Amino acid sequence: MFQNRRTGVVVPAYNEERLIGSTIKSIPRYIDRVYVVNDGSRDGTCSIVAEICQQDDRLILINHPTNRGVGAAIATGYRRCLEDNLDIAVVMAGDNQMDPVELPNLLATIVNGDAGYSKGNRMSSPRHMNGMPVWRRFGNWLLKWLTRVSSGNYQITDPQNGYSAASIEALKRIDLASLYPNYGYCNELLARFTVAGVKVVEVSMPARYQGEKSKIRYSRYIPRVSWLLVRTFSWRMKEKLERRQFPGRKAPAS
């Protein structure tokens, strides 16, 4: 437990045989459950995780028979956290980019009641962006502004950072079944939390690279996510109008 809160870590993994083992083994012992969602990997990811399961009773392997996307994998993990009645759900990528040293700061923000959703922010300092390619910095800057408009949260600085912690109460207030399934889920999630009245706080932390090759192709990713954010903005405006007309309406079940 972390400060008397039962905490689960969701690890979405797609073809991560090189780094999935070190990712799992780095997760602190105060974490109660570790849900690795193998999202249709075609390499040795599944067998590596299955072997580690024999050594770590916190570890649960969930298999998607086909690749459904990182957003879908995270939604699967979130639902398992809800089913197991945990207090906090964390997302840590399977490529070991998310430093466990930063985890207490994310969790403390939730435990102290400062936010329902806390996430990493690598853009708060030039020093924190060391090693981040120029093209990725530009993409993050552009998507920051698009996400601010789309979500209605103008405090967001690093929407692409998926290292996060969410209270179970926050997750119950959004519809996980319709979460965007691919990269871009993190942008849409911010809009969903805004509409649901969940406070979001960013926690400053440095970027971390382990020599992995990014699966994101920004030349395709930026146009695709930009269109997603246009649709999300329209959805948010519609929800805002409907909630004014029907203030007692609740979000769909997760």
- H-helix segments, the chain: 20-25, 45-53, 70-83, 103-111, 134-151, 168-172, 185-196, 218-245
Instruction: Indicate the helix (H) or strand (E) that contains 7.
Output: strand 7-13
- The domain limits of the chain are 7-245
Residue 81 and residue 165 in contact, taking contact as beta carbons nearer than 8 Å: no
Question: Using CA atoms, how far apart are residues 222 and 146, in angstroms rounded to an integer?
Answer: 10
Least confident of 6-15, 60-69, 87-96, 240-249: 240-249
Look at residue 6 and tell me whether its pLDDT is greater than 70: yes
Q: What are phi and psi of 131, to 5 degrees?
A: 90, -10
Token pair for residue 112? 């102290």
Q: Which is higher by pLDDT, 225 or 165?
A: 165
Q: How many helices (H) and strands (E) does the chain have?
A: 8, 7
Q: What is the pTM of this model?
A: 0.87
The predicted structure's pLDDT at residue 191 = 93
CATH architecture of 7-245: Alpha-Beta Complex (3.90)
| Residues 193-212: tens digit of each pLDDT | 999 999 999 999 987 766 55
Give the mean model confidence (pLDDT) for residues 105-115.
97
Proportion of the chain above pLDDT 90, given as a percent: 72
The helix (run of H) or strand (run of E) holding residue 196 is helix 185-196
Token pair listed for 65: 């028979």
Give yes or no for a contact between 202 and 119, defined as CB atoms under 8 angstroms apart: yes
- The string of pLDDT tens digits covering residues 166-202 is 999 999 999 999 999 998 999 999 999 999 999 999 9
Task: Tell me the two tokens of residue 60.
Answer: 């649960």
pLDDT tens-place string over residues 219-246: 677 788 888 889 999 988 988 887 776 6
Length of the chain counted residue by residue: 254
> Which among 192, 165, 203 has a CA at the least distance from the CA of 89?
165
